[in-house]
Amino acid sequence: MAGGRGREAAGSAGGAAARWRPRAQGEAPWTWYPATDLPSVPLQMLFHLSALYNALYFLTTLLMILSKSQVFSYPWNCLVLDLTLLLLMGILEGARLYLGTKGNLMQAEVLLATSLALTAGGSVLSVHFMLWQTLVLWADSVLSTTLLALNGLEAALQLVAVAAFIR
């Protein structure tokens, strides 16, 4: 059991054949991996929660922008800007969550660092919808504050995960 990797490290150089070979006589049916080789479970759970919340945030904000455009006098150019920024935020958050999830599961520091950079961009857009939007309702502030709290917690856990993966 070279390097604590178990069956993956033993056998042929191809890797795939070694993974699927039958268990040797006296070999344990499981392999213990050191704690540094595991992805961060709290971060993965937070990515899942954040994906659900981002879907809720996107749909709720879209409906609020559309209803504000009907109820209040919403300038056309500001409406287009807010809808464009919301679409950009949806794409950015989707890419951020995808890269973060894959980076955590594959233990890839570069993917997690990219996700961390996208977290900063998503946070700026969240601040826009919380403070600088044309018409800001109380619900906008609550939704954006919750999203900022999730992003901050994710950023902290991503930094810890990147530091653990680099070691």
Q: What is the pLDDT of residue 128?
A: 97
Q: pLDDT (tens digit, 9 = 90+) per residue, 123-143?
A: 999 999 999 999 999 999 999
Report which of 97, 153, 151 is spatially closest to residue 125, judged by C-alpha positions.
151
Q: State what percent of residues in the chain have pLDDT above 90.
A: 72
| DSSP summary character for residue 23 | P
Mean pLDDT of the chain: 85
Neighbours of 129 (CB within 10 A): 22
H helix runs in the chain, sequence order: 16-19, 41-71, 76-106, 109-127, 138-166
Where exactly are the structural domains of the chain?
1-33, 36-166
Answer with the residue of higher pLDDT: 20 or 109.
109
Q: Residue 28's closest CA among 55, 52, 59, 6?
A: 6
Which residue has 């993956």 as its token pair? 8
At residue 34, does pLDDT exceed 60?
Answer: no
